[in-house]
Structure 1
Amino acid sequence: MKLAWYTPYSQRSAIGLFSKEVVTALLELGHDVTIVRSESADSAAWKTSRDAICEIISAASINPNVDDYLSRFDCVLYNVGNHYQNHSYCLSHQEKVPGITLLHDYILHNLLIEWLTQSRSHSYLDALMTESGREAVTCYKDASDDLENKWFMSRAADHPVLRFAMQSTLGVVTHAEFYSAVCRSQLQCPVKSIPLAYCCTYEKQIALPQPPDSRFVLLTIGDVNANKRCEAVITALSESGDLSSRWQYRIVGNVSKAQEEKLLKLARNGKYPVDVILLGKVDDTTLQHEIKNSHAIACLRFPIIEGASASVIVSLASARPTLVSDGGSFAEIPEKLVYRVRQHTENADIQRQLTNIAMDYRSAVTRSLNARNWATQRHSGMQYAKSLIPFIAEVINSSPILKLVDSAATHLANWHCSPDIPTVYQVEAETTCLFGNVEV
């Protein structure tokens, strides 16, 4: 098949690395792929690019005649995440040329706000009302009145917004089952869950962890924000003299000055001081070094707003004992491979699991070796590509039927027909008779 693959493709984009892995596999399977960089024309991401494994063009360059250019492809695939500058052309071009959306985040509120700012006149509250109803608007107002960030850090996950970004999409790929049902309900199109593919090359080459001569090292990877639960880890360590003396906590990822000061103050002022080191953004060589020298990795999230976690795949593939949350994509990891932390008993669970790891590190390494084998098989680019191709064929075959059904539904809506009148049932019956079981 001839495929157009929209994606951010900078050196620092995790979705770019995912795309490199999957596109490489698609090429090996004999498909013809063109990467279309979806970043905004003024995005700083344009300063770097990953390897040119196939033809790479910018979405901005085809914007004037996007319909004509994309007509040469069998299917267009749009990688969509919660960051407007990285995915802006995925929104505008899919309105003109519908394709399949590879949905990387569970909620898209930040994307919606920027999209409204850049290209639409109505307000975020109006859009929220259209997407999720009055209950969501009330919830937003209550959360905002109580605490400025409460909506985005806890309540927004209860009201995901999807239709504005994908109202024209022909199908959706999710990276975990937990948000597939929401996509089916809101978007009324074929949905398939495929585990996220992520590069596990250098992680498999990292030596197995050894018991430390002095202190254990706990690592967190990724941009530092409230939902990464770094504060919760520091608090748990600071309340235990044994754990605070046994563990050093290292955090790798972009961090604001205010957030850094907040975390270091928390580490200093607890019941027991905690040795916390924030390294900020690092290159791949430094990241590999940090993983190599770690004894466990904390991959905790609340709320869980991402479809899947690249950092947990890296952790598992590196054979490091891994602390994970108990929801979202983390819930799909077999219990015996990780150290589970429940949100409602977060503090006690962090303390208990770090104690378990330190007290019997040999068993922890055995568990992490099993996790490596599981992760490298499940999350490979080839596995993703082999699952994706049949879904593309399914969507291509079903899209004319869905367009017909959508057209009938639009006419019925324009005639102000209620869902329970006989005409609606007749349309559904005739469609089913012609094409099989299709929901109207």
Structure 2
Amino acid sequence: MRICWVTPFVLRSSIGRVSAAVTAALASQGHQVEILRCEDRDDPAEPLHPTALPVRHWREVDLGSLGAAFDVVIVNIGDNYPFHAGALAILDAAPCLGIFHDFYIYNLFSGWLHHNGLDYRRHDAEIVATYGLEAEPDAVAVRSGQMLDMGEIADKLPMTEWLARRCEAALAHAGFYAPRLEAACAGPVAVTPLCCPDRATPPGAPTTKARLTITTVGVMNPNKRVADVIRAIGGSDALKTCAYRLVGPISDEERARLEAVAAEVGFANLVIDGAVDDETLDQRLAEADIICALRKPVLEGASGSACEGMLSGRPTVVARAGFYGELPDDLVFKVDGEIVVDEIRSVLERLAGDAALRRKTGAAARAWALETLNAERYAQAVEALAKAQLTSRPLLAIGERIGHELRGFGLAESDPSATRIGATLQKLFAPIDG
């Protein structure tokens, strides 16, 4: 197949890192792959992920020609407008297979409105078009600041469907948000675990040292529940001697807030690294004994930090919610999705006191992750969905035409005859085995 792979590809993009590995795997399977960068701006100073494949920026390309130039256009979708601005234009220019890395994309939607100078009327109109007239009060509440809780927004207006309805096929990284894609995307929808390329982290427990290290990796925003972990550690005599290390970008405001929480509970071993390069991240993972990858609310389709914790062979603590709740129960340590400090403390105390449990669970998690999260398996899943997309294209075209005719007759979507017609079309266009 001729594949156009749309993705942010600057070095600081985690989706770009995944894309570099998956496109290499697709090319090794004989596909012709071109990477089309979708960042809003093409900054020459920004280093890119290394690849042997051709790379272009979307602003250099005639988007109207993509449908003819490629068999499939695969668009990676994340909740960051500066990284994914081009993806929105490409979805309107060609039939696309959308990979939804985040199930909550309200920030992407909001960024699109802002960067295009669109006002509250367009905001409300897009939400109503996506969720129906009954969603209008929620649209007003969220844009006027009456609805500020991200969990509530994620529950009512994640905007997943806003882009899923513009995709010809869609891929999710966990089952919890697949129904949203299925409800909005006319074509095939599949679920497959995220690809997470293995790092240079030495597998297994770190060498003997005086102090156990608990580590959280990623952008340090409040929904990572770092403050709750600090309270859990600070309230335990068994854990106070541990170090808690934060590795990833952090704002000055969040740094000050977390340092204040540590001072409040009398915890003196908080280490905040901030943003680091890949080499330092490898080192910090190698030094970790336990990985904390908590989230509330869960906004992403899958978590690279949780996957990397498992790949590194470290016991990983997650919430029983969203993607995290779908991880095998015997390979991670789950706490309630409400993130209760006492439960976090209990799990960490258990892990801190049992080195054999840490080693055993970490080794089993790494073995599972190596088999499940590799680029070759992911590329095969993408290839299978792309073939299903191409097979379904005639069915979708005829279905759209018949649907238009039936609506002209005043037939409701819920009419039994519509279901019978749909089932007949599926039989007519079913793939032929062999």
Q: Structure 2 length as normaliser, TM-score?
A: 0.91
Q: Aligned partner of 2:111: which letter? A: E
Do structure 1's residue 231 and structure 2's residue 230 form an aligned pair? no
**What is the aligned length?**
429
Distance (Å, rounded) in 2 between the aligned partners of 1:295 and 1:81: 30
Distance (Å, rounded) in 2 between the aligned partners of 1:220 and 1:390: 35
Deviation at 1:210, TM superposition (A): 4.1
The corresponding residue for 2:184 is 186
Residues 411 and 83 (structure 1 numbering): CA distance in 2 closer, same or farther, change over 3 Å? farther
Q: Does the 8 Å contact 2:232/2:345 carry over to 1?
A: yes
Q: Aligned partner of 1:108: which letter? A: I
The corresponding residue for 1:39 is 39
Q: 2:160 aligned to 159, 162, 167, which one?
A: 162
Distance (Å, rounded) in 1 between the aligned partners of 2:414 and 2:73: 36
Q: Aligned partner of 2:323: which letter? A: S
Q: 1:78 aligned to 72, 75, 78, which one?
A: 75
Q: Structure 1 length as normaliser, TM-score?
A: 0.90
Residues 239 and 362 (structure 1 numbering): CA distance in 2 closer, same or farther, change over 3 Å? same
SS in 1 for 2:193: coil
Q: Does the 8 Å contact 2:188/2:389 carry over to 1?
A: yes
SS in 2 for 1:242: coil
Q: Deviations over 1:402-425 (max 9, x none)?
A: 122123323444665423557646
The corresponding residue for 2:124 is 125
Q: Does the 8 Å contact 2:206/2:286 carry over to 1?
A: no
Deviation at 1:353, TM superposition (A): 0.8
Q: Does the 8 Å contact 2:313/2:363 carry over to 1?
A: yes
Q: Which range moves more in the overlay, 426-435 or 33-42?
A: 426-435
Do structure 1's residue 248 and structure 2's residue 240 form an aligned pair? no
Q: Does the 8 Å contact 2:230/2:261 carry over to 1?
A: yes
The corresponding residue for 2:90 is 93
The corresponding residue for 1:214 is 210
Residues 420 and 233 (structure 1 numbering): CA distance in 2 closer, same or farther, change over 3 Å? closer
Q: How does 1:398-409 map to 2 (within 5 A)?
A: 398-409=392-403
Do structure 1's residue 67 and structure 2's residue 61 form an aligned pair? no
Q: How does 1:409-424 map to 2 (within 5 A)?
A: 409-413=403-407, 416-420=410-414, 424=418
SS in 2 for 1:47: coil
Deviation at 1:142, TM superposition (A): 5.9
Q: Does the 8 Å contact 1:238/1:267 carry over to 2?
A: yes
Unaligned runs of at least 5 residues, structure 1 = none
Residues 158 and 426 (structure 1 numbering): CA distance in 2 closer, same or farther, change over 3 Å? closer
Deviation at 1:94, TM superposition (A): 1.7
SS in 2 for 1:337: coil
Q: Aligned partner of 1:248: which letter? A: A
Distance (Å, rounded) in 2 between the aligned partners of 1:46 and 1:409: 50
Q: Does the 8 Å contact 1:174/1:192 carry over to 2?
A: yes
Q: Aligned partner of 1:3: which letter? A: I
SS in 1 for 2:6: strand
The corresponding residue for 1:373 is 367
Q: Deviations over 1:12-53 (max 9, x none)?
A: 1100010011111111111110000111126x5961111132
Residues 417 and 266 (structure 1 numbering): CA distance in 2 closer, same or farther, change over 3 Å? same
SS in 2 for 1:251: strand
The corresponding residue for 2:321 is 327
Residues 346 and 279 (structure 1 numbering): CA distance in 2 closer, same or farther, change over 3 Å? same
Q: Aligned partner of 1:24: which letter? A: A
SS in 2 for 1:279: strand
Residues 140 and 268 (structure 1 numbering): CA distance in 2 closer, same or farther, change over 3 Å? farther
The corresponding residue for 1:306 is 300
Residues 378 and 436 (structure 1 numbering): CA distance in 2 closer, same or farther, change over 3 Å? closer
Q: Does the 8 Å contact 1:237/1:274 carry over to 2?
A: no
Taking only the aligned residue pairs, the percentage that are identical comes to 26
Do structure 1's residue 109 and structure 2's residue 106 form an aligned pair? yes
Distance (Å, rounded) in 1 between the aligned partners of 2:176 and 2:296: 15
Q: Does the 8 Å contact 1:324/1:330 carry over to 2?
A: yes
Unaligned runs of at least 5 residues, structure 2 = none
Deviation at 1:290, TM superposition (A): 0.8
Distance (Å, rounded) in 2 between the aligned partners of 1:265 and 1:82: 30
Deviation at 1:360, TM superposition (A): 0.8
**Structure with greater proportional helix content:** 1
SS in 1 for 2:330: helix
The corresponding residue for 1:339 is 333
